[in-house]
Each structure stands twice: as structure tokens, then as C-alpha cells.
Structure 1
């Protein structure tokens, strides 16, 4: 489990194409400082397992075809920056929200509107995920826990949502450099999915 509070921006240092999977080597001195083989680290919001540590500042992960097909991890190139977060430790503050690191789908940056102290960014969202979003609710974008500002289910851009990014988020995560058209990983609030599932079961029981 994660919190969606990005610990550091890492960088892709190597990509080894294995045919039906890839092995990524990423530099992340902070997240790898206490890492061990088998530990989970969220890379742009995708929970991946440490399989090797080439040196004291980097770690390797294997990414299966399923993850490459359903997340933006397959878009990464050597030199790209990524958001990194270690799994939450028992007893620490849960400053973001409950994040599983299980990407539900991808969206794209639609536009950015800068302001003096923040920046509003709009993202497209698949129609089957839009129903889980509400204003003031939580959404994870590339592993970053964010608060939804607005949601629209229809329009020329299709379903979309917006978030307001403060300076620290712009500086300390890759969201500060995402441009219109860039693909991002999305994970909706798992609590919303549980509520939907329970209500559907209750409706079936009452029928």
C-alpha cells in the first residue's frame, strides 16, 4: 500500500527488452536506501518489485506485458524522470490517501492553466473510470495523490477531470513537466469501487 506522496523524482538509467517483458533500472537514492530484494516501490503509480540493486543508488524491476499494455510504463525511455514512493510503513502518517499501486487506466494531459501560486491541469479519463470521480475526492495521477477540482462526463474532450497543483507538487513530481498529449497513469479511489460493489450486491439481494 502507498499514500500517493511522492518521495523523490528518479530517473530511468537502462531498459532491457526481454520480449514479453522489460527490465527497468532506475536511479532513486532515497527509495533504494533501505530497499531489499522483493520490496515494492511505486514507479509513476505502478507497484513494481525490486529484483536487483546494481549499486547503492539504483534498483531494477521487471515489468510484465500486462503492465506495459495497461500503463504508461511502456512509454518510458532512458533519461526520463519518474515519481518514486516506497510502500507505506506501519505506524507512519497517511498523508495522502489509500493507494494500491494498481493502475486502473491511463489518461492524457488536455491543458494547463497557470496562475500566480498554482496551476490547474485537466486530464482525460476513460469513461468507465469517470464515475468514480467527484469534486474534492481523491485521484492518483502518476503515483501522486491529488484532490479533484472538477469532473465532466461529456464534452468535446470526452470525460475529464481537473486538479490544482501547488508549487511543491510542480517542483517535486513529474507532473510539473507533463505537457498536453502526455499519457499518465490513473488510479481511482479504491473505496469508491468497494462502495459501488456493495451497493450492487445489496440491490441484487433486494430484487
Structure 2
């Protein structure tokens, strides 16, 4: 059975978790506590980068969330989470890349004050401006579609949907409606962050942010 190494407050792990549930892939979940488990020799043997998520499937080790999603789509193609239309494929890839490469790093300065860490005002303002540009782009890209690729729910919605709804969306009615649509899915409800999990994770989140930024 596929082994899924995760932490419930990890955005990167949650997108893999949702994909496993949406595809109804049997898996064994293995909790990696971020207070030191990620630095253990056992986990480092699976992911030398010492971060979640990671999977081991029939002896194959895969790390990095987008790579894992591509593997799951190729290995377990039904139900499909990737469209066949070239234009829709391009939208999926754009949303995935923009979310992970552009948007997610910009949320780090915004998160620091929430855990009691300082951030330079100019860096905070720059991050807020960049986030605004990205959200405006995603709002326009979504257009009147229920999902980013059209009528079908895809990996684009999973990747963006595990991050975008946590941001202020008052000025983005299409993204708000899309977020509400995602929240109705069983996979979203099953993987939702609990207040207790967030409270327990705050010291570790603070330590991670101190190291990385």
C-alpha cells in the first residue's frame, strides 16, 4: 500500500492528501511531527530534503508535491484530474506553477506577524502588492468557469485551493465562489485544519519561519 508522509498543517502535504482522497487511492498515512521527526535518519532516508510531503509507492520514493501529483495522475489515471484539451492543460499548469512558485513564497512575510515575528514594513508591503497582482490574475483566469480548467475539477483547483482561500478574497467574487465550491467537497472537509492542530503547530511554524526568512 502507498505510504503518505505528511503533517496536517502543511499546505504542500494537504494538496497530496486531497489528491489521494479524490482519486480514492488506498494509502497509509504516516505523521511527521515538525518538531524534529523530519530530521530523523528514517525520514531523511526517504526525503533527504527533510520536509513533507513524501510518498513511497511499491518501493518508489517521490518527494515534492507537484512531482507527487504528476506521479499519482500518471499511475492512477482514473478518475482523471488533468484535462485533455491543450488550452485547459495550459491553465492547469499555469495555476500550479503560479501558486507554488509565485504566490506561496509571498505569503511568508504575511504569515510572520501572525506568529509573533517581525517583518520589515517595505517587505510586507511588497509581498501584499505581489499577492494582489497574482490574485487579480487568477480571478481573470477563472473567468466564469466553475473550475480553472472549465467544468471539470482538476489538479489546478487542488493546488490553488489549498492556499488561495486562506487569503483575503473580498475583492475577488469569482475566487470567493470557487473557494466556497471547493469547501463543499468531502476531500476538503476531511483535510481541513483543526484549531487544535494549528495551535499545537504554532511553535514549529514560528521556528520554520525563523530559519527560512
- Report if TM-score (shorter chain) is over 0.5: no
- Give the TM-score range, shorter chain: 0.3 to 0.5
TM-score by length of 2: 0.34
* Bigger fraction of residues in strand: 1
TM-score by length of 1: 0.34
* Bigger fraction of residues in helix: 2
